[in-house]
A and B are shown apart, each in its own frame.
Chain A
Amino acid sequence: DTAVSQTPKYLVTQMGNDKSIKCEQNLGHDTMYWYKQDSKKFLKIMFSYNNKELIINETVPNRFSPKSPDKAHLNLHINSLELGDSAVYFCASSQVAGGPTDTQYFGPGTRLTVL
């Protein structure tokens, strides 16, 4: 069983469209994250949720809206897609406490290409 799964794996879309990426973890973790990895492989945190509550919200355009329907799921909705949104988006989760020494478990990533 995949611990952290993401759908879709690849997403190709036109500028201006709205799209969603879904993430699910079956590890029983309380904390989930979204990261963006750019074309130079640089990884940056976007959001973090603990038990469905937003706890980290980095300086991300408000076109990006995370939603956590329950603690096992964290979805990312992106409005009005721009060329600069092209990247690989990773979902991750960490243990119950979500503390600073916790190991984060990453999904396989979603490669978003905006044309």
Chain B
Amino acid sequence: AQSVTQLGSHVSVSEGALVLLRCNYSSSVPPYLFWYVQYPNQGLQLLLKYTTGATLVKGINGFEAEFKKSETSFHLTKPSAHMSDAAEYFCAVSQLSGYSTLTFGKGTMLLVSP
């Protein structure tokens, strides 16, 4: 069975600092990988996803993530944090065939201080 581990339930950064949110997956074969963001009192919104091809994936709002098969990781980064980035971030994996079935990690709350 697939699973996702997000290291750190909370990450605090200063405005302008690098954002790094960690995600490791467990799967017998490389799965499809997603990052979703949840702003307070809202639903989830896709930031980016890795399916095939280039391992460095660029998403919305300046975020990017790199799929590293050897490390079974898909960490999310942003060079410079904005106050508006404060939200809950979820890493998810999808099975390789059939219908879309997302398995989510437990989420990481990103806190941005001025």
Contacts and interface: CB of A to CB of B under 8 A. Distances in A.
Interface of A: 4, 31, 40-45, 48, 50, 55-56, 90, 92, 94, 98-109
B90 A108 contact: no
A52 B102 CA distance: 20
B43 A43 contact: no
Interface stretch (B22-30, B44-52, B71-79): B44-52
Interface stretch (B11-19, B62-70, B91-99): B91-99
A40 B106 contact: yes
- Most chain B beta-carbon neighbours within 10 Å: one of A102, A103, A104: A104
Contact of B94 (A42, A90, A101, A109): A101
B80 interface: no
- Most chain A beta-carbon neighbours within 10 Å: one of B36, B95, B96, B101: B101
6 contacts: A31-B99, A45-B102, A100-B98, A104-B100, A106-B36, A106-B44
Given A43-B44, A99-B98, 10 more contacts: A41-B107, A43-B107, A48-B99, A92-B44, A94-B100, A98-B99, A99-B99, A100-B98, A101-B100, A108-B41
A41 B106 contact: yes
A32 to B, nearest CB: 11
A48 B100 CA distance: 9
Interface residues of B, number: 26
Contacts of B90: 43
A27 to B, nearest CB: 13
Interface of B: 32, 36, 38, 41-46, 49, 51, 88, 90, 94-104, 106-107
Given A98-B100, A100-B98, A41 B88 contact: yes
B99 A55 contact: yes
Contacts of B95: 100
Contact of B43 (A45, A55, A98, A107): A107
A42 B41 CA distance: 15
